[in-house]
Homo-oligomer: A and B are copies of this chain.
Amino acid sequence: MKTFTADYMRQVGVTLLTACGASPEEAAIVADELVEASLMGLDSHGIMRYVQYTEDALSGKIRPGAPIRIVKETDNTAIVDAGSNFGPVSATRMVEIACDKAERHSLSCVVSQNGQHVGRLGSYATKCALRGFVALAVVNSSKHGHWVVPWGGREGRLATNPLAFAAPTQGRPIVLDMSTAAIAEGKIRVLRQMGKPVPPGCILTAEGTPTTDPNLFYGPPHGSILPFGAQSGYKGFGLSLMVEILGGLLAGMATSQDHPYGNGLCILAINPDAFCGREQFAALTEDLKAYMLNTLPAPGYERVVMPGQLDDEMREKRLREGIPVAENTWDAIVAVSHKVGLSL
């Protein structure tokens, strides 16, 4: 395990991404997103993705510099063609569009076509909340990312379809960022890299039998991931369908067909001024937080925490102590840097 500062890892990213064609602005957006995820301890969505993003840019799947255009819009809605630019670049632009529309027209809904991997979904809901809006953000993935079975099935039909929700407070927003699957594919990837088993109740073999071996998930033949919820996994399945409908279908994408895009993003932003008003709303979210945090813990628990709180705490710690990076993750970043003519 190596440890690097956030600033250094941000420089690494900017260097790598500009070397494969990103503008300095685009590279900074992408590097910021991945470093922020690593700071929060969400390593599966962090700097390990430099490798994937660089390779995708080299292969032409990601198109650095591609224009991001609105292809259809109303006062409060838009379909955005992300042009296969880096996902964090198009997603950040979609946040601006959603917030501008919600600012003027109370609420908004913006969806993408031709979007690539957006990274940490919660980031975009958080950005909306920092501008004062309540936000729901979801992403689906196209058929090649369908690892997750419908409840009761043994064939992947949906992606891990995360859902993020954020609400402004008087300080840091409340941020929920969760996969509707029992485990994110990126986390299985990290466990395999570390040689560790997957927790029980998360994955199936190709035959539909429960397993904890990440290698049986990757196959071939590849296995599948369960929707989250354990015995209530039908709820996770239902939420995953909601994500698919908002993130894919609204933008005109058929679930059963493969598409070259990575993530179909949908951002819904709600302006509290159209309801109880921004100031009262922020006071009410503080009241909600305080009411949750003063709950007596159950036996075996130390305290109640709000969604996102542990991520914020980890961020503080890693800002102080640096970001630990697994040897093989670092080796892969170094290897990909050679492909773009750099040597880290």
Q: How far is the CA of A151 from the CA of B242 in the complex (A)?
A: 24
Interface size class of A (residues with CB under 8 A): 35 or more
Q: How far is the CA of A209 from the CA of B297 in the complex (A)?
A: 11
Decide: B238 and A165 in contact? CB cutoff 8 A. Answer: yes
Partner of A303, one of B152, B280, B299: B152
What are the residues of chain B within 8 A of A153 when measuring CB–CB?
292, 295-298, 301, 304
Q: How far is the CA of A9 from the CA of B74 in the complex (A)?
A: 46
Decide: A246 and B307 in contact? CB cutoff 8 A. Answer: no
Q: Which of A72, A165, A290 has the most CB of B within 10 A?
A: A165
Given contacts A105-B75, A176-B239, contact A152 B301 (CB under 8 A): yes
Decide: A299 and B165 in contact? CB cutoff 8 A. Answer: no
Q: How far is the CA of A280 from the CA of B109 in the complex (A)?
A: 18
Decide: B154 and A106 in contact? CB cutoff 8 A. Answer: no
Min CB distance A178 to B, Å, is 5
Partner of A284, one of B249, B277, B297, B303: B249
Given contacts A106-B76, A242-B176, A285-B249, contact A307 B275 (CB under 8 A): no
Given contacts A232-B230, A275-B77, A307-B238, contact A155 B250 (CB under 8 A): no
Given contacts A155-B295, A174-B241, A230-B232, contact A249 B111 (CB under 8 A): no
What are the residues of chain B within 8 A of A245 when measuring CB–CB?
134, 165, 167, 174, 285, 288
* A218 contacts B by Cβ under 8 Å: no
* A201 contacts B by Cβ under 8 Å: yes
Which of A12-20, A22-30, A266-274, A332-340 interfaces with chain B? A266-274
Decide: A304 and B241 in contact? CB cutoff 8 A. Answer: no
What are the residues of chain B within 8 A of A275 when measuring CB–CB?
72, 77, 79, 111, 250-252
Decide: A287 and B76 in contact? CB cutoff 8 A. Answer: no
* A330 contacts B by Cβ under 8 Å: no
Min CB distance A153 to B, Å, is 4
Min CB distance A201 to B, Å, is 7
Q: How far is the CA of A284 from the CA of B249 in the complex (A)?
A: 6
Q: How far is the CA of A150 from the CA of B306 in the complex (A)?
A: 9
Min CB distance A31 to B, Å, is 28
Partner of A270, one of B201, B250, B287: B250
What are the residues of chain B within 8 A of A49 when measuring CB–CB?
none
Q: Which residues of A contact B (CB under 8 A)?
A: 72, 74-77, 79, 105-109, 111, 134, 136, 149-155, 157, 165, 167, 174, 176, 178, 182, 199, 201, 204, 207-209, 228-232, 234-235, 237-239, 241-242, 244-246, 249-256, 268, 270, 272, 274-277, 280-281, 284-285, 287-288, 290-292, 295-299, 301-307
